[in-house]
Structure 1
Amino acid sequence: MSKSPATDPFRFHGGRLAAAALHFADAPKPWIDLSTGISPWAYPVPELGLDAWRRLPEPEQIADLELAAARVFGLNNTAEIVAVPGSDMAIRMLGALFANQRGAMLTPIYSGHKAAWPNASEITIEEAAGHDLIILANPNNPDGRIVSPDHLGAFPGQVIVDEAFADTAPATSILPERGDAIVLRSFGKFYGLAGIRLGFVIADTAVAERLRAMLGDWPISGIAATVGLAAYQDQQWQEVQRHRLQEAAERLDRLFEKSEIEIVGGTSLFRLISHDNARELFEILGQSGILVRPFSDDASRLRFGLPGGEDEWRRLDYALSQWREMQ
């Protein structure tokens, strides 16, 4: 019998710090959360006046945000882009919209997709032909698998592409030449502000209008609209972010190489590793106040996000050295 998120919280989603604090009661604090693919460097939030907290967002404000995001994604038709309260919410909404179609998803894949399409079959890239609805993440979570835009464009049927990690490598995106594919984009991971709950769906106008009707007049907060608009207009910050994420990912690689840990995938926001003693490594890290992401379907794998400050790097290096001594 498979375990539920309630009984085994670490293997279904990252970010379960409260559960980690209970499980590792004697771990040093503050906790270092490496269990998600969220950047440790957040976009500097602009100064927000009291009205931003007191007023509902104006339609024009949301339209300005969608236009700014569309420009970053290379889109011309803003009627095809819909701001949503996080891409995870969009995944569930699309699952409801396409509930009458039996989907097929390229696995492994983010657990939210499995929840949204519980009856979908699991397939490989080579098995994509012959399916009416194909769901995939690109770059993929957790292994960083990339399907080229040209290959994606050749898939038959309706394609739903989760591009939550595409901001780190824009060339991997199927946008702007998406054909009739539905594309999901995430704000919080690359910009390091997951708590804002902001994402986008890019789809043909008919699907976009159905999503707008489901979301209502205030799909996101005024805070999300204000911060998102500033971030999408700041191209210089975006380039700096891509550079430092790549440097940090390469630094993480060097730590794994020193510990003779195999890297089996990832993006510049996370690395997926494999080791026969991964379960013991998870426990050692947890006892050191460092949370990483294990997986319910493969106990030999762990996903590591990026440390931020030098203190976090030192703590991770020391915890890995302790683990090496036990091998």
Structure 2
Amino acid sequence: MLAHPLAPRHGGALRDASARYGVALEDWLDLSTGINPHPYPLADLPASDFHRLPDPAALADLLAVARKVYGVPAKAAIAAMPGSDLALRLLPLVAPAGDVAIVGPTYSGHAEAWRRAGRGVHAAASLHEATERAAIVAIVNPNNPDGRAVAPSELLRVAERLAQRDGLLVVDEAFGEVAPGLSVIPHLGALPIVVLRSFGKFYGLAGLRLGFVLGQDARVERLRERVGDWPVSGPALSLGRKALADSAWQSATRQRLAAARTRLESLVTGAGLAIEGGTDLFVLVRTPQAVAIHGSLARAGIWTRVFADQPDRIRFGLPPEPGFARLEAALGRVER
């Protein structure tokens, strides 16, 4: 099966999509990113968040709230990052020597980061295979784009094996907010595990560029040093602290997203498409017509996610409320 030459590196990039398909920027229904379409409400931020350097005390407050919300043990460290994507690209600088096995298929950022650092990278179809192939193993849990999930107990067993080989387990929990029971964070301690946590996807504020890295103190401290004294902006500190502390919003949002996923799955299967997997932020469909469906929807102003290395897959993010009817109508007219 041929790769799709126009598949974007990431979701979004609507200006390029507008130029390609002749759809005005404001007319797009963007389902390409797996970001909550109902963002955390923006607060009125003080002018000082923009005029002054981010306050170290505000950073400490944010980390204290994140530590409590994520259930970080006292023996583990946490650092703020300007997005988890940067954290994963810095990881090769603080990781043990050696090749890396990445459990896939998953998104390309992990492989790119390790290759650019001069590491050998091996694709693995399972966590067991990855552990056999390299002492450094990276896994996304739950996975993007198929939602594959691995229990924390299994991750801990793998970390114990890697510890005997001076290795490292990297667990990317970018979509962990919709599956908190899968998180390995409460079990962090002596084992060689680094966890990457995204903020923007669940809270719908991806442009804020906020994330966290968690794990053994020495390794996290070395990452913290790489991003300097002001790792995130003043607005990110204020909004991040408020959103992380808002347990009522989080609970209501998890229920809302789960219901929206059920609705999206019903809509997609009603259009004759087979669902391969997903999370409460996106649904993955596998079909030989993925590229054709993507193009047809794009011409109707609906932007989905296709993958250059997986051209038989198409991912749908959750639409905002008016978007369900628009997507259903467009799928009914789709050219395959």
Relative to the length of structure 2, the TM-score reads: 0.91
Structure 2 vs 1, CA of residues 261 and 217 (structure 1 numbering), >3 Å: closer, same or farther?
same
Q: What's the offset of the Cα at 1:98?
A: 2.6
Q: What's the offset of the Cα at 1:29?
A: 4.8
User: What is the correspondence of 1:182-201 to structure 2 with a 5 Å cutoff?
Assistant: 182-201=194-213
Report the secondary structure of 1:129's partner residue. helix
What is the RMSD of the two structures over their aligned residues, measured on CA atoms? 1.8
Kindly indicate whether the alpha-carbon contact (under 8 Å) linking 1:27 and 1:288 is maintained by their aligned counterparts in 2. no
Does 2:97 align with 1:100? yes
Give the corresponding residue for 2:327: 316
Kindly indicate whether the alpha-carbon contact (under 8 Å) linking 2:123 and 2:130 is maintained by their aligned counterparts in 1. no
Distance in 1 between residues matched to 2:10 and 2:228, nearest whole Å: 28
Q: How many correspondences in the alignment?
A: 320
Structure 2 vs 1, CA of residues 137 and 244 (structure 1 numbering), >3 Å: closer, same or farther?
same
Distance in 1 between residues matched to 2:193 and 2:201, nearest whole Å: 22
Q: What's the offset of the Cα at 1:95?
A: 2.4
Kindly indicate whether the alpha-carbon contact (under 8 Å) linking 2:31 and 2:316 is maintained by their aligned counterparts in 1. yes
Q: Deviations over 1:132-159 (max 9, x none)?
A: 1100100001110001101111112110
Q: What's the offset of the Cα at 1:213?
A: 1.1
Kindly indicate whether the alpha-carbon contact (under 8 Å) linking 1:143 and 1:264 is maintained by their aligned counterparts in 2. yes
Distance in 2 between residues matched to 1:244 and 1:34, nearest whole Å: 17
Report the secondary structure of 2:196's partner residue. strand
Distance in 1 between residues matched to 2:193 and 2:36, nearest whole Å: 27
Kindly indicate whether the alpha-carbon contact (under 8 Å) linking 1:149 and 1:173 is maintained by their aligned counterparts in 2. yes
Does 2:163 align with 1:152? no
Q: Deviations over 1:297-326 (max 9, x none)?
A: 12111011010122x112111100102xx5
Give the corresponding residue for 1:134: 137
Q: Deviations over 1:217-261 (max 9, x none)?
A: 100001000000000110000001100111111100011111110
Q: Deviations over 1:99-149 (max 9, x none)?
A: 732111101122110111123111122313343110010000111000110
Does 2:181 align with 1:180? no
Give the corresponding residue for 2:165: none
Kindly indicate whether the alpha-carbon contact (under 8 Å) linking 1:29 and 1:289 is maintained by their aligned counterparts in 2. no
Distance in 2 between residues matched to 1:68 and 1:95, nearest whole Å: 28
Give the corresponding residue for 1:122: 123
What one-letter code is carried by the residue in structure 2 that aligns with 1:33?
A: D
Q: What's the offset of the Cα at 1:11?
A: 3.5
Does 2:270 align with 1:273? no
**Misfit runs of 4+, over 6 Å:** none
Relative to the length of structure 1, the TM-score reads: 0.93
Distance in 2 between residues matched to 1:202 and 1:68, nearest whole Å: 14
Kindly indicate whether the alpha-carbon contact (under 8 Å) linking 2:304 and 2:317 is maintained by their aligned counterparts in 1. yes
Kindly indicate whether the alpha-carbon contact (under 8 Å) linking 1:278 and 1:301 is maintained by their aligned counterparts in 2. yes
Does 2:211 align with 1:170? no
Report the secondary structure of 2:276's partner residue. strand
Structure 2 vs 1, CA of residues 29 and 46 (structure 1 numbering), >3 Å: closer, same or farther?
closer
Report the secondary structure of 2:38's partner residue. coil
Distance in 2 between residues matched to 1:308 and 1:159, nearest whole Å: 36
Which of residues 284, 305, 319 in structure 2 aligns to 1:293?
305
Report the secondary structure of 2:268's partner residue. helix
Report the secondary structure of 1:37's partner residue. coil
Q: What's the offset of the Cα at 1:211?
A: 1.1
Q: Which is further off, 129-138 or 253-262?
A: 129-138
Kindly indicate whether the alpha-carbon contact (under 8 Å) linking 1:245 and 1:268 is maintained by their aligned counterparts in 2. yes
Q: What's the offset of the Cα at 1:27?
A: 6.5
Distance in 1 between residues matched to 2:307 and 2:315, nearest whole Å: 8
Distance in 2 between residues matched to 1:82 and 1:32, nearest whole Å: 34
Q: What's the offset of the Cα at 1:78?
A: 8.2
Kindly indicate whether the alpha-carbon contact (under 8 Å) linking 2:15 and 2:25 is maintained by their aligned counterparts in 1. no
Kindly indicate whether the alpha-carbon contact (under 8 Å) linking 1:66 and 1:78 is maintained by their aligned counterparts in 2. no
Q: Which is further off, 196-205 or 23-32?
A: 23-32
Kindly indicate whether the alpha-carbon contact (under 8 Å) linking 2:66 and 2:244 is maintained by their aligned counterparts in 1. yes
Give the corresponding residue for 2:262: 250
Distance in 2 between residues matched to 1:264 and 1:68, nearest whole Å: 36
Give the corresponding residue for 2:171: 161
User: What is the correspondence of 1:42-81 to structure 2 with a 5 Å cutoff?
Assistant: 42-77=39-74, 80-81=77-78
Distance in 2 between residues matched to 1:61 and 1:29, nearest whole Å: 36
User: What is the correspondence of 1:2-81 to structure 2 with a 5 Å cutoff?
Assistant: 8=6, 10-26=7-23, 29-77=26-74, 80-81=77-78
Q: Deviations over 1:260-294 (max 9, x none)?
A: 10100110000110112111111110011010000
Distance in 1 between residues matched to 2:106 and 2:287, nearest whole Å: 20
